[in-house]
Amino acid sequence: QQQEEFRKDNRPCQANIGYHYTYAANLKTIKTTGLMSKADWKSKNIEAIKNNGSRLGDGIYTAHIPVLYEKLGDICLLTLRLPGRQLSDKQGGCDFAVGNNSVIGKEGSVMVLEKASQCLAIIQFSSDLGKAVENGVLQHLRYMRRESIDPIETLHEQAVNLV
């Protein structure tokens, strides 16, 4: 539904993958309501058992790499994200009021989403597994580099073979 809304408004509507860290105690609420901003919690009278800071303002924080924010929870959620119109954080905060739907942190490692409808948690794993996932990907990329295999070309060939 959010993707269709973005499409109608000529906003980017491609989904991508992100990682959201939380605590096991929050999973019951997340399973019933999805990931939410603090404003969403307040409007639904939900109290988070434990949450982290909000350096970039209110929103749903997701990482681009699984291990970057592993200290922010004991559970990592693999998420599908709909960034919509993005703002790069130059001033140190979110500004959704001017028509942006997400903010990319100035270091490029975090994306803050405005609404719950922009984020869907699809896989849950322990934060320790995040290291294993990243290590496996990095090892595979190192192998490809060592063997002079172009990962983009390989992905393209695999996609063509699927069609």
**pLDDT attached to residue 129:** 62
Q: 136: part of which helix (H) or strand (E)?
A: helix 127-146
Burial class (CB in 10 A: 0-12, 13-18, 19+), 53: exposed
Place 71 in a pLDDT band, splitting at 50, 70 and 90: confident
State the virtual CA torsion across 35, 114, 60, 67 in degrees, nearest 10: 120
CB 130 within 8 A of CB 66: yes
What backbone phi and psi angles, to 5 degrees, belong to 131? -65, -45
Query: With pLDDT > 90 as the criterion, what percentage of the chain qualifies?
Result: 1
Token digits for 76?
Answer: 């990592």
pTM score, whole prediction:
0.72
pLDDT digits (tens, 9 = 90+) for 17-70: 888 988 888 888 888 888 988 888 888 887 766 666 677 778 898 988 877 777
When computed from its CA atoms, the radius of gyration of the chain, rounded to whole angstroms, is 17
Mean pLDDT calculated for residue range 74-89: 85
Alpha-carbon span 143 to 52, nearest angstrom = 37
